[in-house]
Amino acid sequence: MSDQTPSSDHSQFDSAAFVATLPHLPGVYRHIGENDVVLYVGKARDLKKRVTSYFQKTMSMSPRIALMVSKIVRVDVTVTRTETEALLLENNLIKTLAPRYNILFRDDKSYPYLKMTAHAFPRIVYYRGAVDKKHQYFGPFPNGYAVKESIKLLQKIFRLRTCDESVFRNRSRPCMLHQIGRCSAPCVKLVSEADYAADVAASVKFLRGESDAVLQELQGKMMVASAALNFEQAALFRDKIAALSNMMTQQAVESRGDNTDADVIAVASSDARYCVNLAMVRGGRHLGDKAFFPQHTQDCSPQDVVDAFVLQHYLDDDAPRIVISDVLPSDEAQDALQEALSRKIIWVKQPQGQRKIWLTMAQQNAQQALSRRMQESSSAKLRTLDLAKTLGIEVVEGEDTLERLRIECFDISHHSGEATQASCVVYHHHAMQNGEYRRYKIVDVTAGDDYAAMKQVLMRRYEKIAVGEGVLPDVVLVDGGKGQISMAKEVFDELGLDTRLLVGVAKGEGRKTGLETLIFADGRAPIKLGKLSPALMLIAQVRDEAHRFAITGMRAARAKTRNVSRLEEMEGIGAKRRAALLQRFGGLAGVKNASIEDLMQVSGISERLAQEIYKQLHEDAVLD
């Protein structure tokens, strides 16, 4: 590859002179706006022809693209060896740069798996992350709910364990899951290693879609046990058969006798808005689906959207052998995936039988998801508009003022002055932007001094922005009244920032939503909006999210330090007993998971002391 970047003056781009220097070769081009903002990334079979087309006066283009072209101050290009290589580079740049005029799919976290550990008595567990060869992994699943439902099924039918290793090693009696028939209690040897291994093997077959084979094996074992007059064992097999048969009857979307691994893609559109619904089928079992809502899809065709989806999705997450879709990607997108994955994907547009049912379900879910999103979006825009009017933010007709409106909200949380945490949450593009949330550990302030804590977090957040590093939001919400907003004003005055951005949210009587008062740092009169105000609904949503995020951070910080100190400070727990507890249960987590009866098994721990340890380690947090 080779790069070419014009050194033209940013104030005026000489497009004719620039395109004259371009080669007739494949590559990637990047339209750059003011302040080096990347507007668009595209690929081309012929860079000279493609880039030239943007600047021809006779070229017919949509208003959106015309607006983008009017903002170009330079164009950067990268020459590649092949068109496929250009397509792959384009996708990487789109994900990295998130250009304003490209189709963008949100880059979610990796998909979850069901993990079966490598152990004499394997454990089944929800897992998200990189897979390895040591353990067995099943999936990926479209969401965490699908994994947890599969775990519940395996517990009910095969009674596999879910407890962690420290609990498993140190139990002396069966847990509650055994008592309700969800675990065979291998921890206390109530099931042999051979029998547990048989249950594991059956569960693996079940996860791979071989439900009929599992059912036949269980029926055979039940008959053998019955013939040997081992009626208790036969009854266990009978119960497993009943549970499995009931599940298979309820699972109407399961393909009996077909262990297909496939993805099903359906596209729905309305008013230039798109939804791509991805359903996952593994081992013939429909695991559920997930809806994606791409950004910047004006003037885009369904195939444009599908091309963007499969490239952004499958180049990072390996694709199954079969993909069923009502809109097929372009030939060049298919070729790029085949080259990147070093194997061919079978694309099916007109499926038959069970696969047609899967596609029909995906299409229906895509339509429903898009309808819900458009209703939510309309409501969100109404709330954003009302807030802008309430705060006196100018909304320019025809511009994306509301789309760009950015709110940052801060909250402080601690437990009696301990583990003080500050949160910053972000509202942008009419939605909470989880990926931009931040937590701050508050240090060197008097315990319980919320004003000093707020001053510290605001200073840490905005001192860099004050010198040009980062983006200043349109609104800064502070959860608190006059005292908090006065402290925030001190910070903004010190940093030379506009205090009109600062808005305090003072709680009403009884902290009931709808009774809040907005306090301003610039001397404006307070505003009491009332329960039915769309602006207050938005403020309450953002404020509550900041509070939730701060609390979860405080809990995590507190959990890391407080339990150890509690164990050290408990009356009757000296160094020897503390060491015995930690050794017996494999660490503090094991001690916390132990029952009172388990704690009593440790030398020197009486029933009264065991009860006190259990109480101290499990008392609920009292949150401010």
Q: Which of 528, 555, 582 is where one domain is finished?
A: 555
pLDDT at residue 10, as a whole number: 41
The answer, yes or no, to whether residue 374 has pLDDT greater than 80, is yes
The answer, yes or no, to whether residue 315 has pLDDT greater than 80, is no
Domain identity same for 81 and 126: no
Domain identity same for 289 and 159: no
Cα–Cα distance, 283 to 208 (Å, whole number): 4
Residue reference for tokens 């809040």: 516
Domain identity same for 475 and 418: yes
**Contact 111/131 with Cβ under 8 angstroms?**
no
| Token code pair at residue 479 | 């959860």
pLDDT in tens, 250-296: 444 444 445 678 999 999 998 888 999 999 888 777 888 889 988 88
**Contact 469/462 with Cβ under 8 angstroms?**
no
Domain identity same for 136 and 237: yes
Name the CA radius of gyration of the chain, rounded: 30
Domain identity same for 462 and 593: no
Cα–Cα distance, 249 to 247 (Å, whole number): 5
pLDDT at residue 619, as a whole number: 54
pLDDT at residue 558, as a whole number: 59
pLDDT at residue 250, as a whole number: 43
Q: Which of 97, 130, 151 is where one domain is finished?
A: 97
Residue 618's pLDDT band, with cuts at 50, 70 and 90, is low
pLDDT in tens, 533-575: 888 889 989 998 998 888 887 666 655 555 555 566 566 777 7
pLDDT at residue 130, as a whole number: 74
List all residues 6 or more positions away from 353 whose beta carbon is below 8 Å from its beta carbon.
none
* Residue 523 is assigned to a structural domain of this protein: yes
Domain identity same for 55 and 186: no
**Contact 567/591 with Cβ under 8 angstroms?**
yes
Q: DSSP state, 188?
A: G
Residue 346's pLDDT band, with cuts at 50, 70 and 90, is very high
pLDDT at residue 500, as a whole number: 92
Mean pLDDT of all residues belonging to the chain = 82
The answer, yes or no, to whether residue 610 has pLDDT greater than 90, is no
Cα–Cα distance, 27 to 362 (Å, whole number): 36
pLDDT in tens, 434-491: 888 998 888 887 877 888 889 999 999 999 888 888 889 999 999 888 889 999 999 9
Using N-to-C axis directions, what is the helix angle for 211-227 and 193-207, rounded to 10°?
A: 150
Residue 199's pLDDT band, with cuts at 50, 70 and 90, is confident
Domain identity same for 246 and 269: no
The answer, yes or no, to whether residue 325 has pLDDT greater than 70, is yes
How many domains does the chain fold into?
Answer: 5
* Residue 387 is assigned to a structural domain of this protein: no
The answer, yes or no, to whether residue 152 has pLDDT greater than 50, is yes
Domain identity same for 536 and 425: yes
Name the pTM for this structure: 0.61
Domain identity same for 435 and 510: yes
* Residue 80 is assigned to a structural domain of this protein: yes
Phi-psi region of 227 (alpha: psi -120 to 50; beta: other; left: phi over 0): alpha
Phi-psi region of 542 (alpha: psi -120 to 50; beta: other; left: phi over 0): alpha
The answer, yes or no, to whether residue 511 has pLDDT greater than 80, is no
* Residue 319 is assigned to a structural domain of this protein: yes
Q: Which of 129-133, 211-215, 268-272 has the highest mean pLDDT?
A: 268-272
Residue 84's pLDDT band, with cuts at 50, 70 and 90, is confident
Closest CA to 441 of 462, 460, 422: 422
pLDDT at residue 30, as a whole number: 93
Averaged over 500-526, what is the pLDDT?
84
| 495 or 111, greater pLDDT | 495
pLDDT at residue 326, as a whole number: 93
Range of the domain at 157: 113-250
Range in 223-227, 270-274, 360-364 the model is least confident about: 223-227
Averaged over 125-148, what is the pLDDT?
82
* Residue 22 is assigned to a structural domain of this protein: yes
* Residue 522 is assigned to a structural domain of this protein: yes
DSSP helix, strand, coil percent of the chain (3-state; round to 5):
45, 20, 35
Residue reference for tokens 């004050």: 466
What percentage of the chain has pLDDT greater than the value 70?
85
* Residue 104 is assigned to a structural domain of this protein: no
Residue reference for tokens 């290693």: 193
The answer, yes or no, to whether residue 516 has pLDDT greater than 60, is yes
Cα–Cα distance, 351 to 344 (Å, whole number): 18
Domain identity same for 426 and 497: yes
Cα–Cα distance, 357 to 253 (Å, whole number): 8
Cα–Cα distance, 348 to 321 (Å, whole number): 11
Domain identity same for 144 and 210: yes
pLDDT at residue 264, as a whole number: 94
Cα–Cα distance, 286 to 316 (Å, whole number): 22
Compute CA distances 110 → 129, 303, 317, 432, 435, whole Å.
7, 25, 8, 20, 14
Cα–Cα distance, 420 to 397 (Å, whole number): 44
* Residue 389 is assigned to a structural domain of this protein: no
